[in-house]
Amino acid sequence: MKIQSLKTFVVGNPPPSYGGPYFVFIKIITDTGVEGLGECYGFPFGPHAIVPMIEDVFERHVLGADPHQIERLSRVIYASGYTHHPDLTIMAILSGFEMACWDIIGKEANQPIYALLGGRVHETLRSYTYIYARPDDAVDVYMDADLSAERAAEYVAMGFTGVKFDPVGGRGAFDPRQLSLESLDRSAEFVRKMREAVGTKADLLFGTHGQMTTSSAIRLAKRIEFADPLWMEEPVPPENALEMARVAQHTSIPIATGERLSTKHEFLRLLQNQSAQILQMNLARVGGILEAKKIASMAEAFYAQIAPHLYNGVVAGAANIQLATCSTNFLILEGIERWDGFHAQLLKKPIVWQEGYVIPPTEPGLGIELNEEVALAHAYNGSPHRRHLEQTEEHITQ
């Protein structure tokens, strides 16, 4: 069996655009007609620059390759450009192809991917969602603690046992910063009102985005410890594991991080430095499913847990489900609300979500089929310079 052709989809995500402005999906097809889906995430470039890069890697390394040879193919893509370093662009592309190869392998074996990586150890997968702004909100949900608390209670009534939020404020190119007293007080108020709204029915996931200096993160942690959050996410930028470890040493709140990291090498530093107890790899950036499974196995030896990250499309979400199902140290799964809306429309059969839990599929491979008619009908036609996630180029002083 050889990989014979490639198809790419840059899909515009219509309003309210939960999960980002667009998704990058790929499909590879073998000479025997078996198709595999993948997703690439987090490019620091505009969407129209992405497809030529994917095609370049395909023509150099993937065309004619055996999809079963995942270790070899991954190594060649990772290292053949004289890098031997986790370049996030090449890792995003590698992740998409790796994911698609696993989809093919599962279909050939007539087994879900989790059955080929140790087997199913979880019958259901606990899930959480961000508190998302809604088009009819009169105020910013992240500037209004009462509205956020009300929204959290609504999610818990749906069945969620975890809700995530970030009231710290915007993220900028000049972060990390020392938070103002106003921002610190606002964050504590959010936590207090949300805890009052959900009681002990749900965990609070404090989802910061590396905005703070080490000292500021420690000051914030002291203010919110009273509510016993499940985690404090990426309190400082991900580039310095030692400083993140200093935050961890000064708080009882578990530290979670990993969405901007890739490869086992970067995650090993987190474990060795005791920087985080919860690892949030994004499978469309980290190196794919097998790399994420290796990271989960390393984390197991440190009694650390995994909570796969998802602020992107449903193909990576399906890969997260496969990893979570076969990982003993799985904690909780990020979803885009209930896996409904446009994410469900992109699939011929939606992912099953029931009362706060995802039900792992039994279909082979990733267990999903892309509705290509929907994907093509929503081809991204926005700004060619729009990146999936942006940070302001100005100083943020709050």
Ordered by start, the domain boundaries in the chain are 3-110, 115-366
> Do 298 and 55 meet the contact criterion of CB atoms below 8 Å apart?
no
Q: What is the three-class DSSP state of 86?
A: coil
Query: Which ranges in the chain belong to alpha helices (H)?
Result: 47-57, 70-79, 88-109, 113-116, 145-158, 181-198, 214-224, 241-249, 263-272, 289-301, 314-325, 341-345, 372-377
CA–CA distances in Å: residue 22 to residues 33, 89, 362:
28, 16, 28
What's the one-letter identity of residue 35? E
- Band (277; pLDDT cuts 50, 70, 90): very high
Within 13 A of 306's CA, how many CA atoms are on the CB side? Answer: 29
Lowest mean pLDDT segment, chosen from 103-117, 168-182, 258-272, 365-379: 168-182
Mean pLDDT within 160-189 = 95
pLDDT of residue 23: 98
Quote the CA–CA distance of 330 and 118 in Å, as a whole number. 14
Q: Do domains 3-110 and 115-366 have the same CATH topology?
A: no
CB atoms within 10 A of CB 263: 21
The Cα–Cα gap between 98 and 376 comes to: 23
pLDDT for res 84: 87
The per-residue b/e assignment along 214-235, b for 16 or more CB within 10 angstroms, e otherwise, is bbbbbbbbeebeebebbbbbbb
pTM beyond 0.85, yes or no: yes
The mean pLDDT value for 379-392 works out to: 88
pLDDT score for 385? 86
Picking from 45-49, 52-56, 73-77, which range would have the lowest pLDDT averaged per residue? 45-49
Structure-token match 């939960």, residue found: 18
Concatenated DSSP letters of 340-382: -HHHHHTBSSPPPEETTEE----SSBTS--B-HHHHHHTB--S
The answer to whether residue 389 scores a pLDDT higher than 90 is: no
pLDDT band per the 50, 70, 90 thresholds, residue 47: confident
Split at pLDDT 50, 70, 90, the class of 298 is very high
Apex CA 305: angle with CA 304 and CA 308, to 5°? 140
Q: What is the pLDDT of residue 54?
A: 98
**Confidence grade of residue 394 (pLDDT, cut at 50, 70, 90):** confident
49 Cβ contact partners less than 8 Å away, ≥ 6 residues apart = 43, 384
What pLDDT is attached to residue 333? 98
CA distance linking residue 233 with residue 173, whole number of Å: 18
Cis peptide before 167 (omega within 30 of 0): no
**The CATH number fitting domain 115-366, selected from 3.20.20.120, 3.30.70.140, 3.90.120.10, 1.10.3470.10:** 3.20.20.120
> Cβ distance 61 to 73 under 8 Å?
yes
Quote the tokens at residue 137.
């909100």
Q: How confident is the model at residue 318 (pLDDT cuts 50, 70, 90)?
A: very high
Provide the CA 291 distance to its chain's centre, in angstroms: 14
- The rounded distance, in Å, linking the Cα atoms of 106 and 271 is 31
Domain 3-110 sits in CATH 3.30.390.10: yes
> Above 90 in pLDDT, residue 396?
no
Q: Which residue has the tokens 């698609």?
A: 100
